[in-house]
Structure 1
Amino acid sequence: MKSVLLPLTTHVDLAPISEFTARFSKKHSATITALYVEPDPRTAIPFVGEGLSADIIQSVQEAAEQENDEHEKFCKEQFAEIMKSHSIAKKNGDDILPNSHYRWKTLIGEISDHIGRKARTADVSICMQPSDKHECYKHLFNDLIYRSGRPVLMIPTEGNFEVGTNILIAWNGRAEVARSIANALPILRTAGKVSIVQVGEIDEDRPSLYEAAEYLEDHGLTVSIIEQPQSNAGISDTILATAQDIQADLIVIGAYSHARWHEIILGSITTQIVANTKLPVFMSH
């Protein structure tokens, strides 16, 4: 985990996610790219109607641009202070610094214009748990999951988290969780405890829970195997309960194995875990 992307916008609560990112990145001596997406001031201009002069349009745009710049400056200064409190220095030019450091980038546009694409050159992106109260978090999460091709580390909106000491992997034999495990290897190698859980039976043509454990053991990891029966509680609730029982601080899952129309109409285990978890979740689609 040497390259961490932290997407930020006007509506992101900067302090908690920046604090988490600083701790996580320092543990892995990673570079943080704080990518601040500033709204295009032209979007502040209402639809041109009768009586709306060019002077009014220009004044509205200039006011919006000034407001955006002031907010970006405030966020940049706040972020720099948080990095400084963790002894994380700013990267200047081509300087090669020995430990974790950060860079700040500002782009103009919408989340969908930039976030997913820019995340393709990061080892992991960090975002907040999406919720009905935070539409921005939903847009960030969805763009990272579906457009980046890279893993996402999602943290709940409430809590102070340290991840990577006691990790639970939710195994179902699908490609998405296999990709998540491979992407999470740098975190798994630093963990004190790694457990892998399977709820109920999986198709015989998929790799078994024990084959997944063997793969991790090939990478020098000691793995605890947990087999849980499928019950009325549901797979997602069983995974979350197991994580709580073993006092895990991070859950690794495969994200959205089915087609998006299937997820929207019927729901999914991923959706339920994302909505209900009180722990950070590392996932790949």
Structure 2
Amino acid sequence: MSYKTIVVHLDTSARAQARLHLAIEIAKRHGAFLQGVFAVFAPNPRSFVVMAGTAEYYEEHETVRHEEHGALERLFEAELSRAHVDGEWIDETGNADDELPKYARRADLLIIGQDDPADPESFVADHFPENMVMSAGRPVLVVPYAGSFAHIGRRVMVAWDGSREATRAVHDALPLLKQSEQTTVVTISAAHGNVPGARPPGADIAATLTRHGVKVTTLDLPAAKDVATGEMLLARIDDIGADLVVMGGYGHTRWQELILGGVTRTMLSSMTVPVLMSH
């Protein structure tokens, strides 16, 4: 198993270039075809009609965005050529929430960015990362807006609770896990009703990964009443020295409301390293 088609979402945000460089690095490592899908939030110009001066602002903003789009496309082509990676640039003018999952479903991996509250250009749609995890049908690698990630997957933390979502994530991440120097399967005992002294909860999935040639260790943490599971996992990233977290993405939609599990919400809002999620 390997990633042979990768889709990276690109926009005019400050972190788009860093996300592109990481996507190229992963594509080169796996001999994958890389699709760069450019999709941005585009407000309806009619919504500005009643506000004085907004038409001029909108036109100026579109001019700047067009220039940044052109520069990013040229960078995309130049960097693919330099890295000897095959790929294509795609301009998507439709709603990113609806259109990007269609590209992802024809690929092996989707790479997107975390929402950056300090950068308006990172806004694509409400709850965009969450919606991609829930709707793409493929593993989604979410890259934080803070930090530098030229290479990922040397030391991996797998958040394991035995669920369907966690199982999907682990197997979707196998191409990365097999190349890792060390993978640590982390479980939290009381979070899934383990009996103290019983067989370590991560032992079976660790054995499965070992048969795939993954170098695995396990770490079982006792649950703490005053610390949420997501916070416990975040705290262990530095301890393990992980540069990637693999976990299930938990949530569902009810009418028009997106309801996320607490751990998923915590990771998407407070991640310190890239997180690969599968739903």
TM range, normalised to the smaller chain?
Answer: 0.7 to 0.9
Q: Distance in 2 between matches of 1:17 and 1:219?
A: 29
**Which one-letter code corresponds to 1:160 in the other structure?**
S
Paired with 1:69 and 1:266, the residues of 2 have a C-alpha distance of: 35
Q: Which residue type is aligned with residue 74 of structure 2?
A: E
When normalised by structure 2's length, the TM-score is: 0.80
How do residues 169-184 of structure 1 correspond to structure 2 at under 5 angstroms?
169-184=158-173
Matched, 1:110 2:104: no
Judge conservation of contact 1:115–1:140 (CA < 8 Å) in 2: no
Structure 2 partner of 1:224: 217
Alpha-carbon spacing, 1:9–1:145, altered in 2? closer, same or farther (3 Å): same
Q: Decide which of 112, 124, 132 is 1:144's aligned counterpart.
A: 132
Query: Is the CA contact 1:88–1:102 (under 8 Å) kept in the aligned structure 2?
Result: no
Partner of 1:52: none
CA distance in 1, matches of 2:233, 2:41: 39
Task: Tell me, in whole angstroms, the C-alpha distance in 1 between the residues paired with 2:101 and 2:253.
Answer: 17
- From 88, 107, 110, the equivalent of 1:122 is 107
Verify the 8 A CA contact 2:252 2:260 in the aligned structure 1. Answer: no
How many residues are paired up? Answer: 260
| 1:22 corresponds to | 24
Q: Which residue of 2 aligns with 1:132?
A: 117
Using the alignment, how far apart are the partners of 1:251 and 1:119 within structure 2? 20
User: Offset at 1:104?
Assistant: 0.7
TM-superposed deviation, 1:40: 6.8
What is the DSSP-based 3-state SS (H/G/I as helix, E as strand, rest coil) of the residue aligned with 1:241? helix
1:9, distance to aligned residue in structure 2 (A): 2.9
Where in structure 2 are the equivalents of 1:13-162 lying within 5 Å? Answer: 13-37=15-39, 43-46=44-47, 70-84=67-81, 87-89=82-84, 100-133=85-118, 134-136=122-124, 139-161=127-149, 162=151
Q: Give the superposition deviation at 1:184.
A: 0.4
Contact 2:114 2:268 in 1 (8 A): yes
Aligned to 1:159, the other structure's residue is in SS state coil
Judged with a 3 Å threshold, the aligned counterparts in structure 2 of structure 1 residues 65 and 245 are, in CA distance, closer, same or farther, namely closer
CA drift at 1:260: 4.2
Query: CA 1:10–1:131 in structure 2 vs 1: closer, same or farther (change >3 Å)?
Result: closer
Unaligned residue ranges in structure 2 (runs of 5+): 195-199
State the secondary structure of the residue aligned to 2:214: coil
> d(CA) in 1 for partners of 2:248 and 2:273?
16
* Bigger radius of gyration among the two: 1
CA displacement, residues 230-262 of structure 1 (integer Å, 9 cap, x when unaligned): 012221121122221011111101011x4445x
Of all paired residues, the percent bearing the same amino acid is 27
Residues 1:248 and 2:237 are matched in the alignment:
no
Distance 1:137 1:46 in 2: 17
Does 2:235 match 1:238? no
Answer yes or no: is the 8 Å Cα contact 2:139–2:169 preserved in 1.
yes
Structure 1: gaps (5+ residues): 50-56, 90-99
CA distance in 2: counterparts of 1:180 and 1:266, whole angstroms: 16
- Contact kept? 1:127, 1:140, Cα under 8 Å: no
Q: 1:267 to 1:192 in 2, by over 3 A?
A: closer
CA contact (8 A) 1:171 1:196 kept: yes
Q: Are residues 137 and 226 of structure 1, via their aligned partners in 2, closer, same or farther at CA, if it must alter by over 3 Å? A: farther
> One-letter code of the match for 2:240?
I
Residue 158 of structure 1 and its aligned partner are, at CA, apart by 1.7
Whether the 8 Å CA contact 2:40–2:124 is kept in 1: the answer is no
Q: What CA RMSD, in Å, does the superposition of the two structures yield over aligned residues?
A: 3.2
